[in-house]
């Protein structure tokens, strides 16, 4: 067994990935990603998506986690991209609410 230590890379706003890397990491197809961008669920950090060919888009590394979730939902529930976009929007909203709830709980006294 190898005793080498591997470095885990954080998904942060500081690093970005190209469309083909996102395809590879998420398991979505390039067409599905383009559609999710059109639905406004995924947003490239490069210039407005309409002005650049999709091959030149770059995404924040945090998009990888969203893309992987999208891919799981698509496979496990047989969703089309519109259904996927809706589910992801709701999940994002739930997460924002949970974060807000957590913040409020943090400032509550025991």
Partner 1 sequence: MKYKDYYATLGVERGASEEDIKKAYRKLARKYHPDVSKEKDAEEKFKEVGEAYEVLKDAEKRAAYDQMGSYQPGQDFRPPPDWGNRFSSGADSQGFQDLGDIDLFDLLAGLNRGRARGARGDAEFRMPGQDFEAHVQVRLDDVIKGIEIEIPVASTEMAEDGTVRRTTRTVKVRIPKGATDGQRLRVPGKGGQGMGGGRAGDLYLDIKLEPHELYKVDGHDLYLEVPVAPWEAALGASAEIPTPSGKVNLKIPPGSRAGQKLRVRGRGLPRPHGGESGDLYAVLQIVTPSVLSEAEKELYGKLAQASSFNPRAHFG
Residue 60 φ/ψ, nearest 5 degrees: -60, 145
* Interface stretch with partner 1, choices 29-37, 43-51, 52-60, 69-77 (CB under 8 A): 69-77
**Entry field: residues in the chain:** 110
14 is a contact residue toward partner 1 (CB under 8 A): yes
Q: Which stretch binds partner 1 (CB under 8 A): 35-43, 50-58, 68-76?
A: 68-76
Rounded to whole angstroms, how far apart are CA atoms 3 and 91? 39
Q: Which of residues 88-107 bind partner 1 (CB under 8 A)?
A: 91, 99, 102-103, 105-107
Binding partner 1 (rule: CB under 8 A), the pick from 29, 72, 82, 97 is 72
* CA-CA-CA-CA torsion sign (24, 70, 63, 104): negative
């Amino acid at each position: 067994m190898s005793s080498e230590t591997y470095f885990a890379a954080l998904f942060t706003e500081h690093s970005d990935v190209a469309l083909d890397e996102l395809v590879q990491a998420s398991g979505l197809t390039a067409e599905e990603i383009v559609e999710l961008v059109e639905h406004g669920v995924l947003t490239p950090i490069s210039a407005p998506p309409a002005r650049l060919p999709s091959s030149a888009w770059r995404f924040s590394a945090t998009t990888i986690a969203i893309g992987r979730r999208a891919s799981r939902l698509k496979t496990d529930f047989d969703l089309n991209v519109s259904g996927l976009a809706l589910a992801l929007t709701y999940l994002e909203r739930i997460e924002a609410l949970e974060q807000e709830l957590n913040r409020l709980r943090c400032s509550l006294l025991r």
